[in-house]
């Protein structure tokens, strides 16, 4: 029976992604709390907020409107937000991010698919509001995707898990060419190191849990990324170029903006460019 359950999880991308995020969340909580009850309370509250809004609310909408809404989409989005938003973030900011994520995911769609990665949309909404209301400036620390222990002092155990599961999922969901974003970004940083006399630690940067999670989990999200090989390569190139420029400029939300730019390319590709990029 255990073998059947394991095969069922491995064989279904939504089951596997959910299981992976649960394991990552448990590891992050254990690493961050270490007996600190105060931070544990903050973490639990954040988790309850994102689950309530991104999972429970869609379920209630589905139940009373007879509109089919995926349980796993809400669950996966909830855990991604949970792992990205710092536990010390103000709770009303967490609430607004989760609400923005829900609204954007349910309303702004094209061909029954969300236009943007749901987690990215919620964060960007709050970032835009923060331009007018300084207190809303969100603290996206990616705390849950890169935590101790580290292997050879470079790669965290969380990043290693993400690399293994992420590559498997990318192959299973036919998104393997999205991974070229890592290669493009790597070459771009090498260029910055050589021609702009930078000294970025390439090994740490590209084996860091934040970057591999962004590419292998968020950028490769099946519904907001292209299907065809050439389209995936250009999609990942858009991500790499935008990220590289913003990273060089020390923009704190570089990865979020880069995923947003890639998602917009995918929308344009789906609507206008698809016949040219076969």
Pairing of strands 113-114, 109-110: antiparallel
Of the two residues 223 and 62, the one the predictor is more confident about is 223
**pLDDT score at 3:** 65
Beta bridge partners of 156: 150
List, for residues 234-268, the tens digit of each pLDDT value: 999 999 999 999 998 989 899 999 999 999 999 88
Q: What is the mean pLDDT of residues 227-238?
A: 90
Q: Is the pLDDT at 66 greater than 80, yes or no? A: no
Mean pLDDT lowest among 58-67, 155-164, 171-180: 58-67
C-alpha 78/C-alpha 130 separation (Å) is: 22
Confidence band of 277 (pLDDT split at 50, 70, 90) = low
Of the two residues 45 and 133, the one the predictor is more confident about is 45
**pLDDT score at 260:** 96
Which parts of the chain fold into alpha helices (H)?
Answer: 2-11, 13-33, 37-51, 57-65, 71-84, 91-107, 118-130, 157-172, 180-195, 202-206, 209-213, 229-248, 254-268
Confidence band of 191 (pLDDT split at 50, 70, 90) = confident
Confidence band of 1 (pLDDT split at 50, 70, 90) = low
**pLDDT score at 2:** 55
**pLDDT score at 225:** 92
C-alpha 190/C-alpha 197 separation (Å) is: 10
Mean pLDDT lowest among 14-28, 45-59, 146-160: 146-160
Q: What is the mean pLDDT of residues 27-44?
A: 89
Kindly report the pTM of this predicted structure: 0.91
Residue 113 is inside which H or E element, if any?
Answer: strand 113-114
Q: What is the mean pLDDT of residues 164-189?
A: 89
Of the two residues 116 and 35, the one the predictor is more confident about is 116
Q: What is the mean pLDDT of residues 8-22?
A: 89
List, for residues 125-172, the tens digit of each pLDDT value: 999 888 888 777 888 999 999 887 887 777 889 999 999 999 999 988
Average pLDDT, the chain: 87
**pLDDT score at 39:** 92
Q: What is the mean pLDDT of residues 163-186?
A: 89
Nearest residue to 48 via CA among 15, 14, 87, 103: 87
C-alpha 157/C-alpha 163 separation (Å) is: 10
């Amino acid at each position: 029976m255990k073998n059947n359950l394991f095969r069922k999880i491995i064989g279904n991308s939504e089951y596997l992604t959910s299981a992976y995020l649960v394991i990552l969340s448990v590891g992050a909580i254990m690493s961050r709390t270490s007996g600190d009850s105060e931070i544990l309370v903050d973490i639990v509250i954040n988790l309850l907020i994102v689950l309530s809004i991104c999972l429970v609310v869609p379920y209630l909408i589905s139940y009373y409107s007879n509109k089919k809404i995926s349980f796993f989409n809400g669950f996966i989005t909830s855990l991604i937000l949970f792992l990205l938003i710092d536990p010390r973030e103000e709770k009303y900011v967490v609430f607004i991010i989760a609400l923005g994520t829900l609204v954007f995911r349910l309303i702004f769609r094209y061909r029954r698919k969300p236009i943007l990665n749901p987690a990215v949309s919620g964060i960007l909404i709050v970032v835009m509001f923060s331009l007018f209301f300084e207190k809303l400036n969100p603290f996206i620390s990616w705390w849950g995707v890169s935590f101790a222990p580290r292997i050879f002092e470079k790669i965290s155990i969380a990043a290693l898990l993400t690399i293994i599961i992420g590559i498997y999922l990318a192959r299973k969901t036919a998104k393997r060419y999205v991974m070229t974003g890592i290669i493009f970004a790597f070459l771009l940083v090498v260029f910055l190191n050589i021609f702009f006399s930078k000294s970025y630690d390439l090994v740490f940067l590209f084996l860091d849990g934040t970057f591999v999670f962004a590419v292998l989990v968020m950028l490769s999200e099946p519904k907001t990324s292209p299907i065809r090989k050439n389209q995936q390569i250009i999609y990942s190139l858009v991500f790499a170029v935008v990220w590289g420029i913003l990273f060089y400029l020390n923009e704190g939300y570089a990865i979020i903006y880069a995923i947003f730019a890639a998602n917009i390319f995918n929308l344009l590709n789906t609507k206008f460019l698809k016949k040219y990029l076969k």
